[in-house]
Amino acid sequence: MDESTTTLALAIGARVKQERQSRGWTLDQLAESAGVSRRMVVNVEQGAANPSVGTLLRISDALGVGLPALVESPRPKPVKVTRSGEGAALWIGESGGRGVLVAGTESPDVVELWDWTLGAGDRHVSEAHTSGTKELLQVQQGTVTVEIAGQSVSLDAGDAVTFPGDVAHSYANPGTEPARFSLAVFEPGVGTGHRPEVSDA
């Protein structure tokens, strides 16, 4: 992990531990509620892991705080500004792509705003989010192929798509040039349900 990734991992770990302890939960209780292994919770809290976005979503849902709360300061502010370059890079692609969470609201009805770049050939696979989740995506540059529950949609710059986020989906760049898109995710009722058991991969 590079320095910024390490700093982010430590900040997320501290926030997870703070939220878990404020509820009086053991490591095992959080692991069971989130549907991840105890070892994964320990690694996240120690900042020793670079967990997948899916793992972070399961942990944030179990804590009832939403993913944005894990990567932001716990002090609520009526106006929160994220300057260019300050977003939380939660995914790094093999070809240099990045998934950056740039803004988000608090639970229970969480809205996340992402800035995604996909290098040539990059692909990000996302597991199904909680029931009722919706995603809105607009391509800013290049071509992006979105697969939603087996249906494939090809989008060029300026094109947009709305789809259910509570089914398996993926974003891919089939081209030879970088692609960029904005993504908004609406996840209602964070913390009111549980995700199915899945691996920590």
CATH topology of domain 3-71: 434 Repressor (Amino-terminal Domain) (1.10.260)
Task: Name the 3-class secondary structure at 183.
Answer: strand
Q: CB atoms < 10 A from the CB of 74, how many?
A: 12
pLDDT at 75 over 50: yes
pLDDT at 114: 96
Distance, CA of 69 to CA of 151 (rounded, Å): 32
Backbone conformation region of residue 150, classed left if phi is above 0, alpha if psi is from -120 to 50, else beta: left
Nearest in space to 114 (alpha carbons), one of 99, 129, 98, 126: 99
Q: How confident is the model at residue 200 (pLDDT cuts 50, 70, 90)?
A: very low
Q: Annotate 91-153 with DSSP letters as a single string.
A: EE-TTS-EEEEEEE--SSSEEEEEEEEE-TT-EEEE---STT-EEEEEEEESEEEEEETTEEE
User: In terms of CATH architecture, what is 88-187?
Assistant: Sandwich (2.60)
Token pair 């705080």 is found at 65
Which tens digits make up the pLDDT trace of 153-187? 999 999 999 999 999 999 999 999 999 999 999 99
Domain ranges of the chain: 3-71, 88-187
pLDDT at 149 over 60: yes
pLDDT at 195 over 70: no
Q: CB atoms < 10 A from the CB of 7, how many?
A: 12
Distance, CA of 52 to CA of 57 (rounded, Å): 9
Mean pLDDT of 20-27: 89
